[in-house]
Structure 1
Amino acid sequence: MSAIEDIEDDRGELRKPFLHTGSWYKMQGMGSRQSSITGSAQVLRDGSVSVLLCVLIVALGPIQFGFSCGYSSPTEEDIMSDLGLSLSQFSLFGSLVNVGAMLGAITSGQIAEYIGRKGSLMIAAVPNVIGWLAISFAKDSSFLYMGRLLEGFGVGIISYTVPIYIAEIAPQNMRGTLGSVNQLSVTAGLLLAYFLGLFLSWRILAVFGSLPCLILIPGLFFIPESPRWLAKMGLMEDFEASLQVLRGYDTDISLEVNEIKRSVASTSKRRTISFAELKRKRYWFPLMVGIGLLGLQQLSGINGVLFYSATIFENAGISSSNLASVGVGVIQVLATGVTTWLLDKAGRRLLLIISSSAMTLSLLFVAVAFYIESSASEDSKLYSIMGILALVGVVAFVVAFSLGLGAIPWLIMSEILPVNIKGLGGSVAVLANWTSSWVVTMTANLLLDWSTGGTFTIYAVVSASILLFVILFVPETKGRTLEEIQSSFR
């Protein structure tokens, strides 16, 4: 009996994807071999174009993710005024996206494993749309909170599924670049929320927040399912067809097909592992790296800065605080774009070391500027200078974060987790990320009210811890296939 037959016997009845792509790309491929190539068949023949189109469609999810993070910054004063919320109530509203995301994270891995990556994104998109509409039509805090929870639930699933899907469809030499599109889309969504918040009321802005997922829903019907997931489910015909359309119909995929089949066969004979087996390095080490990176990423304070950037800039004495937030958003998108270009050249580990080092220094710089500013009178020249320096330091922190710690933890998580614990391990890692984010966003406003300089000092200590963690534990994954990376832990 072959390895693949063993897998099918272990499963009993093969699963079908929740969103089955049907045979459109198979038929297109057959037609492209038998006739001249025109229209969409020509697009599908070029593997790089096909993969890029898939990435751009699923990137609508992270755009909505970023929009959720940025929404609370330009809307704080208006929502508090219109609905009569206190500072603590609005802080609760801002942080509830993280609570919803924690709930989504708990289920994200199992949903993505059971019904496929595309089906998981569909399940994420629907509550996202409902949540934004609930916020838009909210008459009191209860609808506001409910909408934020629903929106967060979808974000939690998106934050796991999109990096996994991109890593599983991308060619080895493009995986870093395409994987960083996830974080680039998050920053684009954040900038969109900041920019539109200058002109739109908070209710209209919430309607705009639903648009990325409204476009994503029909887009999911036009992209293939992850070939690695199809192989793991034993759907071999669909697996090869999906991989062929992703690589181009003129490409010989036999080597990649055989490598994926061997990897699936070696990890799928037992579908679950015991807790005792997690003590083996092949499991505990990638789990520890994934959880550590994603948890520490948020404890650095990035979401506290991005959620409440307008408040931070007001504390720095910047009169046009919302406009300054837009400027930070633009810089973050540009810096993340540079990371997208660098990832497959410089490598993950080097960029993480540079990023966390620069974050630590910039956060200490901001803390010192705020400490000095707090001792100066508001009408003095020193107060104005320190406010400008604090703004420069915040911008430097956001740039440093975007150059490494923003995109790379998600990419590494999607690369290093073994196939048979990817669902559980990925859920735990994403849960750690959103739990940390909740702690930061729930406390950021209160900490800033206590001491702005003290808040940034705390974040600087965490960033220094990230640097130490990267140096001691994080491996380089550049230039290796997913199967090579995961087999290296055995």
Structure 2
Amino acid sequence: MAYSTILLPQIMKGYNSSSIAEDDWDLINDTDSNLTNPFFIKELTIGQDEASWIASLMSIATPIGSLLAGPLMDRFGRQKMCAYLMIPIIFSWILVATTTSSVYTIYAARIFAGLGGGLSTVTIVYVAEISHPSIRPMLLSLTSVFVSFGILLTPVLSYFLDWRSVAMCCGGMAVTILLSVLFIPESPSWLVGMQANNNDPDKGLKKAEKSLKWLYKNQEDCKEEMKSLMRIKDQKHSEKENLLVKNQNGEGRITFGSSRAWKPLSILLIIFFLQQFTGAYIVIFYAIQIFEKSGSLEFDQLKCLIVLGIIRFVMAIISMFLSKKVGRKPLLGTSSLGMGIVILIAAGYIHFLGQGLVPIVCLLIFVLFASYGMTTIPWTLIGELLPLSVRGVYSGVSVAVAYLLMFITVKLFLMVLHAIGIVVIFISFSAVCFSFVFFVYFFVPETFGKTFTEIEKAFK
């Protein structure tokens, strides 16, 4: 639901396009979704500056929510934060549904939506911690499936309903999610870790055992996970010695000194840095402009958004099922390799033969390759690579950096496009894609079928 809100400007039909110059549309395309076809509320008079703020405020607020998510989920628990994150999202949709004549209400809605989107980092951590290793990759991939569903949801609803009805539908679904989350158990790993920090590991184990019995109906799986949690409790003291240093008051604080902390964080940050410059999100965000530059074709923009959303949604589902059979490295590697090849073909065709249908087909295949690996797997790695002691804080840092990089690349894209042209941009995307393949092959550890303990050993 957090991600359904990113298409807010697109569901506001009834704009007066004559009030905004053609070049000013470019300023609207700087959010974390494709805003190439914005629709504005009839009751509001929105100019260039207001449109830009509506589009960009969520991208600014999301990293803030991500940074808050880490300490909050460590303090209050994963399950509680899954419920709390729905509050700003619900409030955001209420503001949209009830707004009358103030553009500042829309600004506030975008900020609350961004905070909720950033806080949703906790869902990755929660799913990773409650999942059995055999199905953890598939369940983590579900987060990308529902992100794709949320992004697809609003243009589909807005095709049939007015924008207030869309807002009420999405708000109603958000309330349903909040109520549902109240009935799920707390993360057993967090219960053990938190009680160990409070010098009461036995109490944590009892609560964790109760949680596991709810999660695992198979008694053998439950016993296996309990053994794993027992090892976590037994290793907690030595883990503290590795990850914590004492200050003058005798209190511990997390440090980057342990390789089990800074190595996975460094890998994640490099992955997100390369991800943004492969063009995976830029091609989706600016699909209409890029298609026009590549093929000189006219498009029904809302239908185009729906088609791209369907491609992302379907490929996210395929990626989810593949992740149960195939490791992270093959999915990331083949996704990046395929992206690099097809975008290079598109660049060569445009350079030598000019615009045409072939570059359009290449771009659609590019989105297809990106959607089953590049735009899905990095987010799931957050829940797998980071050790328990730093997972909350560093997952928030990783997501915040990812969104800041996304904001920067999307914000600067049109300026770079006008400066160097689409061919050079495509060639640059291809080079980064091939570099990504190299990095994944040599530096990213495989997490498929491994326990958290086994994954941590790779960073010692």
> TM-score scaled to structure 2, two decimals?
0.81
Equivalent residue, structure 1, for 2:5:
68
Contact 2:11 2:162 in 1 (8 A): no
Equivalent residue, structure 1, for 2:244:
273
What is the DSSP-based 3-state SS (H/G/I as helix, E as strand, rest coil) of the residue aligned with 2:447?
A: coil
The reply to whether residue 302 of structure 1 matches residue 280 of structure 2 is yes
Equivalent residue, structure 1, for 2:201:
none
Equivalent residue, structure 1, for 2:223:
254
Residue 105 (structure 2) aligned to one of 99, 121, 143: 143
Query: For each residue in 1:387-433, what CA deviation from the matched residue of structure 2 results, as whole angstroms up to 9, or x when unmatched?
Result: x3333222112111112122211222211111111122212111111
Contact 2:96 2:164 in 1 (8 A): yes
Residue 399 (structure 1) aligned to one of 334, 354, 368: 368
Contact 1:356 1:464 in 2 (8 A): yes
Query: For each residue in 1:245-301, what CA deviation from the matched residue of structure 2 results, as whole angstroms up to 9, or x when unmatched?
Result: 211164463332122222244235639635995244222211111222234333433
Contact 1:94 1:441 in 2 (8 A): no
Contact 1:314 1:321 in 2 (8 A): no
User: Residues of 1 paired with 2:340 and 2:221: CA distance?
Assistant: 47
Query: For each residue in 1:100-132, what CA deviation from the matched residue of structure 2 results, as whole angstroms up to 9, or x when unmatched?
Result: 110001111111111111211222111111123
Contact 1:138 1:144 in 2 (8 A): no
User: Residues of 1 paired with 2:43 and 2:435: CA distance?
Assistant: 41
Query: For each residue in 1:173-201, what CA deviation from the matched residue of structure 2 results, as whole angstroms up to 9, or x when unmatched?
Result: 11111111110111111121232232334
- Relative to structure 1, the CA distance from residue 218 to residue 276 in structure 2 (aligned partners, 3 Å threshold; closer, same or farther) is closer
User: Residues of 1 paired with 2:413 and 2:407: CA distance?
Assistant: 10
**Which one-letter code corresponds to 2:309 in the other structure?**
G
Residue 82 (structure 2) aligned to one of 111, 121, 125: 121
The Cα shift of 1:372 comes to: 6.7
- Relative to structure 1, the CA distance from residue 214 to residue 480 in structure 2 (aligned partners, 3 Å threshold; closer, same or farther) is same
Equivalent residue, structure 1, for 2:395:
426
Contact 1:363 1:459 in 2 (8 A): yes
User: Residues of 1 paired with 2:43 and 2:352: CA distance?
Assistant: 36
Equivalent residue, structure 2, for 1:442:
411
User: Residues of 2 paired with 1:455 and 1:252: CA distance?
Assistant: 50
The Cα shift of 1:340 comes to: 1.0
What is the DSSP-based 3-state SS (H/G/I as helix, E as strand, rest coil) of the residue aligned with 1:319?
A: coil
Matches within 5 A, 1:39-78: 64-72=1-9, 76-78=37-39
Contact 1:73 1:308 in 2 (8 A): no
The reply to whether residue 153 of structure 1 matches residue 124 of structure 2 is no
Equivalent residue, structure 2, for 1:480:
450
- Relative to structure 1, the CA distance from residue 72 to residue 308 in structure 2 (aligned partners, 3 Å threshold; closer, same or farther) is farther
Contact 2:280 2:375 in 1 (8 A): no
Equivalent residue, structure 1, for 2:16:
none
Matches within 5 A, 1:32-431: 64-72=1-9, 76-79=37-40, 83-86=44-47, 89-136=50-97, 137=99, 139-158=101-120, 160-234=121-195, 235-248=204-217, 250-251=219-220, 253-267=222-236, 270=240, 273-274=244-245, 278-315=256-293, 316=295, 317-368=297-348, 383=355, 386=356, 388-431=357-400
The reply to whether residue 466 of structure 1 matches residue 436 of structure 2 is yes
Q: Aligned pair count?
A: 415
User: Residues of 1 paired with 2:171 and 2:63: CA distance?
Assistant: 20
The Cα shift of 1:444 comes to: 3.9
Higher share of residues assigned helix: 1
User: Residues of 2 paired with 1:201 and 1:312: CA distance?
Assistant: 28
What is the DSSP-based 3-state SS (H/G/I as helix, E as strand, rest coil) of the residue aligned with 2:85?
A: helix
- Show structure 1 runs of 5+ residues with no match: 1-63, 376-382
- Relative to structure 1, the CA distance from residue 69 to residue 259 in structure 2 (aligned partners, 3 Å threshold; closer, same or farther) is same
What is the DSSP-based 3-state SS (H/G/I as helix, E as strand, rest coil) of the residue aligned with 2:55?
A: helix
Equivalent residue, structure 2, for 1:10:
none
- Show structure 2 runs of 5+ residues with no match: 13-36, 196-203, 246-252
What is the DSSP-based 3-state SS (H/G/I as helix, E as strand, rest coil) of the residue aligned with 1:197?
A: helix
Equivalent residue, structure 1, for 2:33:
none
- Relative to structure 1, the CA distance from residue 224 to residue 180 in structure 2 (aligned partners, 3 Å threshold; closer, same or farther) is same
- Relative to structure 1, the CA distance from residue 331 to residue 289 in structure 2 (aligned partners, 3 Å threshold; closer, same or farther) is same
User: Residues of 1 paired with 2:278 and 2:321: CA distance?
Assistant: 24
The Cα shift of 1:335 comes to: 1.4
User: Residues of 1 paired with 2:225 and 2:369: CA distance?
Assistant: 36
- Relative to structure 1, the CA distance from residue 326 to residue 197 in structure 2 (aligned partners, 3 Å threshold; closer, same or farther) is same
The Cα shift of 1:228 comes to: 0.8
Contact 2:274 2:436 in 1 (8 A): yes
User: Residues of 2 paired with 1:312 and 1:198: CA distance?
Assistant: 23
Contact 1:244 1:251 in 2 (8 A): no
Query: For each residue in 1:24-65, what CA deviation from the matched residue of structure 2 results, as whole angstroms up to 9, or x when unmatched?
Result: xxxxxxxxxxxxxxxxxxxxxxxxxxxxxxxxxxxxxxxx24
The Cα shift of 1:133 comes to: 2.8
User: Residues of 1 paired with 2:95 and 2:277: CA distance?
Assistant: 29
Say what the alpha-carbon RMSD is for the aligned residues.
Answer: 2.8
Equivalent residue, structure 1, for 2:19:
none
User: Residues of 2 paired with 1:218 and 1:276: CA distance?
Assistant: 34
**Which one-letter code corresponds to 2:104 in the other structure?**
S
Contact 1:296 1:433 in 2 (8 A): no
What is the DSSP-based 3-state SS (H/G/I as helix, E as strand, rest coil) of the residue aligned with 1:173?
A: coil
What is the DSSP-based 3-state SS (H/G/I as helix, E as strand, rest coil) of the residue aligned with 1:248?
A: coil
User: Residues of 2 paired with 1:290 and 1:446: CA distance?
Assistant: 28
**Which one-letter code corresponds to 1:68 in the other structure?**
T
User: Residues of 2 paired with 1:484 and 1:473: CA distance?
Assistant: 16
Contact 1:181 1:340 in 2 (8 A): yes
User: Residues of 2 paired with 1:471 and 1:216: CA distance?
Assistant: 38
User: Residues of 2 paired with 1:138 and 1:440: CA distance?
Assistant: 33
